[in-house]
Chains A and B, each alone.
Chain A
Amino acid sequence: MSLDLKYTYTEKKDTRSGFGDGFLEAGRRNPNVVGLCADLIGSLKMGDFQKEFPDRFFQTGIAEANMIGLAAGMALGGKIPFAGTFANFATGRVYDQIRQSVAYSDKNVKICASHAGLTLGEDGATHQILEDLGMMKMLPHMTVINPCDYNQTKAATLAIAEFEGPVYLRFGRPSWPVFTPANQKFEIGKAWKMIDGSDVTIFATGHLVWEAVVAEAMLREEGIHAEVINIHTIKPLDTEAILESVKKTGCAVSAEEHQVNGGLGDSIAQTLILHNPAPLEYVGVNDSFGESGTPTQLLEKYGLNAENIFEAAKRALARK
């Protein structure tokens, strides 16, 4: 059986490459863009920038705390630093440095976090951070972005270079469908309604936007019309778009590669509770660490794939 998908793809690419290509382009557009990386240049795809702009790129060694401080110093001196490492080391390991030297001090630092979530795969739970969005969205002044594919990640990278203020940009390791347009315009804080629907809204972020697109087609086969909204910016959250959609559909599903506690779903729940209480089902990791496996196996085992979104939508509908 083949699904009638509203979005399709011809190739798969990793979102980290979208970051790497966007970073290089941002460096070409603005000489103030500089880079830092804590011994993961290859993994973060920062090598092309380093090659083209060796004077503007700083290998910091395996020393993430120092890297964040350096970036804060470069920002106050007028540069636009992009500091890259794995999402685990870019958040939990350096939370205090980000809190004091970047967020509280309101420094124009771009924290670029790869290998986020379960889809990191075989490296296992030590590296599969599922708490980073929560940690970052709690920080005042911090903008939190989690794009869905190569093209959107590239566009987001270019957008944050032009945005003044601290940003957490989250992306990942696996090859993933490229289903959004090349050279798209990326508006920070503006949700993107990808599919119109009337029965239930699926709010998805990151890799799970693709799973939501698949789930929508599955639901449609059963006569359920789901609206799919791509929440690439977790903070500031586009509450207007959320409320407008749920007003129409009456129930919702949140989908994210993150803990349910403290993630996108919680932000949506907060919005709905305050303004328009409606049934909401969470698709996320439920208070658990991950483990080694392939991305597909892990999404299945931890309940984060299209099938799970499909089921969650039906549960939400039943509660209307």
Chain B
Amino acid sequence: MKKQSLPELQKICSQLRRDVLRMVHAVQSGHPGAPLGCAEYFVALYFDQLNHNPDFQMNGKGEDLFFLSNGHLSAGWYSVLARSGYFPVEELKTFRKLNSRLQGHPATHEHLPGIRIASGSLGQGLSVALGVAQTKKLDKDSSVVHVLMGDGELQEGQVWEAAMYAAHYGMDNVIATVDYNGQQIDGPTVKIMDLKNLKAKWEAFGWEVIDTKEGNDLASVIAGLEKAKSLTRKGKPILNLLYTEMGYGVDFMVGTHKWHGSPPNDEQLALALGQLEETLGDY
């Protein structure tokens, strides 16, 4: 895929946010907050970073792979998959509806191209990503495996089992990104279950940690992912702490957990869409 300029990629971000809001509004269910905050990450990954093949093969041999561990960001993932050619953009309108391939949380059951494992029950994606990454090492396949986790998700114990494994086996073909927005469904993470010093935690587990302080600035996100990639093949797994704002891009949604799992009503949708340019054509 030909690399696109920053302004072009920014247009995709705006469209992705429109897609997310329209999708969750249409069924009055779903999780808009976090995918709005991860738009730059999704677009940077699929349109700039991944050496990937929208002509989907489940085993992903020879291509970079992405796993969404925090499956409730499905609306954002579906949008970027559709916009990058995995399936028709038109299909976004089936999100969360009966007989759709776009399940509420990602699934392989309906054979949606781009999805390799179900996610939704939190804490499992890093383990799966490590399994594929181990397979790539066995097969002398030099591509990279990405995985996105929520910061609240790090409260799950399995994540730390996986963190330990990754360092022990020197899984230096894995780049795990944490959506560090400080919010979870019941409130700010500091109040619900304080994650304390995440950087020190991951470093203590033997990971190479990088900070991407401006997680909603496309150039910074790309630079962060570039840096992460440059650190692969050096014996350590890589953790990218991506500082984002939940609900970014819509002034009344940003920075609060209120929109974690609540859809906008008609009026709120109209207000929100007024702040996001339709760049590639709504589905």
Contacts and interface: CB of A to CB of B under 8 A. Distances in A.
A314 interface: no
A56 B180 CA distance: 35
Given A65-B157, A66-B162, A97-B158, A73 B133 contact: yes
B117 interface: yes
B165 A74 contact: no
B161 A66 contact: yes
12 contacts: A58-B134, A61-B161, A61-B164, A65-B124, A65-B127, A66-B130, A68-B127, A69-B128, A69-B130, A70-B165, A71-B131, A74-B132
B201 interface: no
A56 B135 CA distance: 9
Nearest to A106: B108
B170 interface: no
B181 interface: no
Contacts, number: 117
A72 B109 contact: no
Nearest to B67: A73
B110 to A, nearest CB: 11
Size bracket, chain A contacts: 20 to 34
Interface in B122-181: 123-136, 138-139, 157-158, 161-162, 164-165, 168-169
Interface of B: 58-61, 107-109, 116-121, 123-136, 138-139, 157-158, 161-162, 164-165, 168-169
A73 B60 contact: no
A82 to B, nearest CB: 13
Q: What is the interface of chain A mostly: helix, strand, loop, or mixed?
A: helix
Interface of A: 34, 55-56, 58, 60-61, 63, 65-79, 81, 96-97, 99-101, 104-107
A34 B137 CA distance: 13
Contact of A73 (B107, B118, B128, B157): B128
A69 B158 contact: yes
Given A101-B124, A107-B117, A74 B164 contact: no
Contacts of A101: 117-118, 124, 127-128
B117 A74 contact: no
Nearest to A141: B109
B128 A60 contact: no
B120 to A, nearest CB: 7
Given A96-B121, A100-B124, 9 more contacts: A63-B161, A66-B161, A66-B164, A70-B127, A70-B128, A73-B127, A76-B128, A78-B59, A78-B139
B139 to A, nearest CB: 8
A157 B107 CA distance: 29
Contacts of B138: 34, 55-56, 79
Question: A-B pairs with the 9 shortest C-beta distances?
Answer: A73-B131, A69-B127, A77-B135, A63-B161, A66-B161, A70-B131, A73-B128, A65-B158, A73-B132
B119 A69 contact: no
Given A60-B165, A63-B165, A65-B157, A77 B131 contact: yes
A107 B118 CA distance: 10
Contacts of A97: 124, 127, 158
A80 B109 CA distance: 20
Given A66-B162, A105-B108, A78 B61 contact: yes
